[in-house]
Chain A
């Protein structure tokens, strides 16, 4: 009897220590080495994997949700960024006595902007503007969204305010450059884009704006150089292909231009770029005398952006030709 008990205790002890090993080996602990040396993709993968496991054990941690959103943002998986920010915000709001955390709203609005969900992004921006934590970067985003929504004057005003607040905010110059480009003030647009580029060389959009200005001036070779620079920053940016197509169209390489506009459309994430690419493709198609297709593209562009001047002009031209 006593031997049996001892044996049972012995086996239970063996099972317990072995189980503890098995259990602990699956428990996430902070990855304390080497991640800084990894490329950004591997780092983000490791972070997300770790946080997945961590959140299973700590489902109420808003910090972990936010950290996961940041990890997804490294690779531009914006839908995941937005949903993780949602979770972080709701978890934090449940915890009594905690004020809303601006950095979560800031990241979510960036994700929403990338996902072309302008109204939702505006809500987050309004929240940030009302709080005391608004930064120049927030104003710049506000300006960008207002521009997308066609409120050009307000957009310009906010971009100026953002620059006034922080003269080293690249996003502020970028938003101002966009608005000025819309207003056909190409020289000013170029200067602001150039400034943004100097402040943050890895931003792709300043290259797009500079290419657009060169295209306006008919300096297509220069425009193509800017497109090449832009693609080195971000090969998935449809807007770069849009301007490359415009330059190729001006060089009368219509087939190449058509390809570039198709690539722009295959990579477009927002309706403003989509509308511009459809309009630019309509121009090229009209040059190729494919009027019916050009007209269809004009309709698509106008459906996305009723104020698109190029689409209107091409449509008008096509009507006259017929």
Chain B
């Protein structure tokens, strides 16, 4: 029997313990490592099967980071709405790709899969340092980790999205904070790998910085943990721990580093006000479908909300319910605040939901075993019921000084061996995993089965271009443009790789004229169209491809919007109309006449 880092009271029999939470053995390593390895293998298989797949936004970061590597500058040669540090964070995959000659899209998937493994291993390490955990929480450790790994399987369509990376950094931090607030973290933790908590804090800080709205989740989880902790009066010692300090420092360092990004003034002075006013142009009227434009992960949403409600009832049954509910609801809040309804923005919510389900199913399974133990005459189950009910006794005097009440009661308690407890954990884990099998298809959707990027323009560009050619694809919702440019090694020759501003100006004007907002929109629109024209004149791309279909419910259309500025006449003087392809207008650079 391994020591859990604390002095364990022993009976005469060396391996027998009373059912006090302080006496629980460490959670069985096989219930952590076996599911972790099996699901990592399934994930590896997924990475291999979809080795050519890359998400559109990830392709966008990589395209921009490649432009950075070739000496171009943000806001002059490429523009995006969110803090530009993500493009610098996306540079290392290019180094790996160049070093190993593995295509960039595969390199990206491999590195994200490595991040999943690192996150899982960190979580296991943290969980192996859980001591003094209440029995009912202790039994849910395996289901929780299993839920985390299952989440990584359903998220593959959005693999490496900023929200996904955030969840990878959040999960070990969440466990760490949970153990700290429940005073269940072994003293050994800080001594064995002292740097781990700092590394986790840095990683989470960096992930939060590229999508600052996610800070809300951290705050909500922390508040929930502290509110439900018997040790909340000790917040002065629990709050300023190494991971929190590292996280806060990383946010500050990232903010300082951002000041040195070229043209950052343009971001704050031009794009942030523009974003604040115009981003609702992409708002969706059907937020709660979690499915736009593609790749949703929630199964039946009514059941999903039902489970969230059920977990609220179970709050007192397990100390994990409250923080996971806070995670889920704050994830939902962040998703709703953003207003787009895009499936990937629901990742923080979905991850909380998957973890919450794992815990709820775990509670139901263990409660069922407990019920059987109380009602049946099977001695093993009776033992389980006694083991399980030990929680109430221990839980009711949570925070009491060890030894004050335990000693007299311990004499009347049944004696359980550590092997018994390990078996109880194993049985409840197997039952949990078996219960999840039929529930999977009702509760979750694999985003690879609900998401698909149509290979639009592939045929045309494959036929007509060669790697290194410059092309301009002006679009607001073309699902495949970034991936194709990346894979085909084409160079985006206009700063608006994602041409979001014109949809925003169209929204801001919204048929009105003369209002300050309409004036602002007109000024911005003229500026943007002029920038596109200058970029095309300067770079002379081989093709200019313009999205021509109606985008959004208002019937707004990029091609028509550009044409109100006589775009084809002014910007495409050297281009000839090539014909429509996949609902896009295609213009080709005129070959010089011989």
Measured CB to CB, the residues of A under 8 A from B are 10-11, 13-15, 17-29, 31-34, 37-39, 41-42, 45-46, 48-50, 52-53, 72, 75-77, 79-80, 231-232, 235-236, 238, 255, 258-259, 262-269, 274
Q: Is the CB of B440 within 8 A of A259?
A: no
Do A14 and B35 form a contact, CB below 8 Å, given A25-B444, A33-B301, A75-B583? yes
Whether B305 is near chain A, meaning CB under 8 Å from some CB there, is no
Do A15 and B568 form a contact, CB below 8 Å, given A21-B150, A46-B294, A265-B579? no
Complexed CA–CA distance, A37 and B555 (Å): 18
Partner of B577, one of A10, A33, A77, A265: A265
Whether B393 is near chain A, meaning CB under 8 Å from some CB there, is no
Q: Is the CB of B430 within 8 A of A19?
A: no
Q: Is the CB of A268 within 8 A of B580?
A: yes
Write out the residue numbers on chain A whose beta carbons fall within 8 Å of the beta carbon of B546. 266
Complexed CA–CA distance, A241 and B440 (Å): 51
Whether B560 is near chain A, meaning CB under 8 Å from some CB there, is yes
Partner of B549, one of A19, A232, A236: A236
Q: Is the CB of A266 within 8 A of B577?
A: yes
Q: Which of B244-252, B285-293, B514-522 contacts A (4 or more CB under 8 A)?
A: B285-293
Across the A-B interface, give the 10 residue pairs with the lowest CB-CB distance, nearest first: A49-B452, A265-B577, A266-B577, A22-B42, A17-B433, A266-B585, A45-B294, A28-B449, A267-B580, A18-B35
Interface pairs (27), CB distance under 8 Å: A10-B30, A10-B426, A14-B35, A17-B430, A18-B39, A21-B433, A25-B444, A26-B46, A26-B446, A27-B446, A28-B446, A39-B292, A42-B291, A42-B293, A45-B293, A49-B295, A50-B450, A76-B583, A77-B454, A235-B560, A236-B585, A259-B566, A259-B568, A265-B577, A265-B579, A266-B568, A267-B548
B365 smallest CB distance to A (angstroms): 12
Write out the residue numbers on chain A whose beta carbons fall within 8 Å of the beta carbon of B31. 14
B2 smallest CB distance to A (angstroms): 16
Complexed CA–CA distance, A14 and B580 (Å): 55
**Chain A proximity mask over B558-589: 1 for CB below 8 Å, otherwise 0:** 01100100101100100011111011011100
Write out the residue numbers on chain A whose beta carbons fall within 8 Å of the beta carbon of B550. 235
Q: Is the CB of A49 within 8 A of B585?
A: no
Whether B220 is near chain A, meaning CB under 8 Å from some CB there, is no
A170 smallest CB distance to B (angstroms): 21
Write out the residue numbers on chain A whose beta carbons fall within 8 Å of the beta carbon of B433. 14, 17-18, 20-21
Whether B376 is near chain A, meaning CB under 8 Å from some CB there, is no
Q: Is the CB of B583 within 8 A of A25?
A: no
Partner of A46, one of B35, B291, B436, B566: B291
Which of B301, B433, B586 neighbours the largest number of chain A CB atoms within 10 Å of its CB?
B433
Write out the residue numbers on chain B whose beta carbons fall within 8 Å of the beta carbon of A38. 286, 289, 291-292
Complexed CA–CA distance, A21 and B354 (Å): 13
B206 smallest CB distance to A (angstroms): 29
Partner of A77, one of B43, B445, B560, B582: B582
Do A25 and B450 form a contact, CB below 8 Å, given A46-B291, A258-B569? no
List 12 additional A-B contacts (Cβ < 8 Å) besides A17-B430, A18-B39, A38-B286: A11-B34, A14-B34, A31-B450, A32-B300, A42-B293, A46-B450, A49-B450, A53-B449, A76-B583, A235-B557, A267-B548, A267-B585
Q: Is the CB of B448 within 8 A of A49?
A: yes
Which of A45, A76, A268 neighbours the largest number of chain B CB atoms within 10 Å of its CB?
A45
Write out the residue numbers on chain B whose beta carbons fall within 8 Å of the beta carbon of A75. 454, 583
Q: How many A-B residue pairs have CB under 8 A?
A: 176
**Interface of chain A, main secondary structure:** helix
Closest to A56 in B: B49
B116 smallest CB distance to A (angstroms): 13
A315 smallest CB distance to B (angstroms): 20
Measured CB to CB, the residues of B under 8 A from A are 30-31, 34-35, 38-39, 42-43, 46, 146, 149-150, 153-154, 286, 289, 291-296, 300-301, 426, 429-430, 433-434, 436-437, 440-441, 444-446, 448-452, 454, 456, 459, 479, 546, 548-550, 553, 555, 557, 559-560, 563, 566, 568-569, 572, 576-580, 582-583, 585-587
B346 smallest CB distance to A (angstroms): 14
Write out the residue numbers on chain A whose beta carbons fall within 8 Å of the beta carbon of B286. 37-38
Write out the residue numbers on chain B whose beta carbons fall within 8 Å of the beta carbon of A23. 42
B353 smallest CB distance to A (angstroms): 14
Q: Is the CB of B583 within 8 A of A236?
A: yes
Closest to B42 in A: A22
Closest to B292 in A: A42
Complexed CA–CA distance, A34 and B298 (Å): 11
Write out the residue numbers on chain A whose beta carbons fall within 8 Å of the beta carbon of B560. 231, 235
A309 smallest CB distance to B (angstroms): 23
Write out the residue numbers on chain A whose beta carbons fall within 8 Å of the beta carbon of B295. 49
Write out the residue numbers on chain B whose beta carbons fall within 8 Å of the beta carbon of A235. 548-550, 555, 557, 559-560
B576 smallest CB distance to A (angstroms): 8
Q: Is the CB of B430 within 8 A of A14?
A: yes
Q: Is the CB of B289 within 8 A of A49?
A: no
Partner of A79, one of B291, B294, B459: B459
Partner of B430, one of A13, A49, A53: A13
A282 smallest CB distance to B (angstroms): 14
Write out the residue numbers on chain B whose beta carbons fall within 8 Å of the beta carbon of A24. 437, 440-441
Write out the residue numbers on chain A whose beta carbons fall within 8 Å of the beta carbon of B149. 22
Complexed CA–CA distance, A13 and B586 (Å): 57
Closest to A29 in B: B441
Which of B149, B153, B449, B451 neighbours the largest number of chain A CB atoms within 10 Å of its CB?
B449
Write out the residue numbers on chain A whose beta carbons fall within 8 Å of the beta carbon of B569. 255, 258-259, 262
Partner of B42, one of A10, A19, A32, A268: A19
Q: Is the CB of A266 within 8 A of B578?
A: yes
Write out the residue numbers on chain B whose beta carbons fall within 8 Å of the beta carbon of A232. 555
Write out the residue numbers on chain B whose beta carbons fall within 8 Å of the beta carbon of A266. 546, 568, 577-580, 585-587
Q: Is the CB of A274 within 8 A of B579?
A: yes
Complexed CA–CA distance, A274 and B150 (Å): 53
Write out the residue numbers on chain B whose beta carbons fall within 8 Å of the beta carbon of A17. 430, 433-434, 437
Complexed CA–CA distance, A37 and B452 (Å): 18
Complexed CA–CA distance, A319 and B559 (Å): 37
Write out the residue numbers on chain A whose beta carbons fall within 8 Å of the beta carbon of B568. 259, 262-263, 266
Complexed CA–CA distance, A313 and B549 (Å): 35
Write out the residue numbers on chain B whose beta carbons fall within 8 Å of the beta carbon of A79. 459
Write out the residue numbers on chain A whose beta carbons fall within 8 Å of the beta carbon of B46. 26
Write out the residue numbers on chain B whose beta carbons fall within 8 Å of the beta carbon of A265. 576-577, 579
A218 smallest CB distance to B (angstroms): 25
A234 smallest CB distance to B (angstroms): 8
Complexed CA–CA distance, A264 and B441 (Å): 48
Closest to B444 in A: A25
Write out the residue numbers on chain B whose beta carbons fall within 8 Å of the beta carbon of A11. 30, 34
Complexed CA–CA distance, A10 and B456 (Å): 49
Write out the residue numbers on chain B whose beta carbons fall within 8 Å of the beta carbon of A20. 433, 437
Complexed CA–CA distance, A53 and B448 (Å): 8
Write out the residue numbers on chain B whose beta carbons fall within 8 Å of the beta carbon of A18. 34-35, 38-39, 146, 433
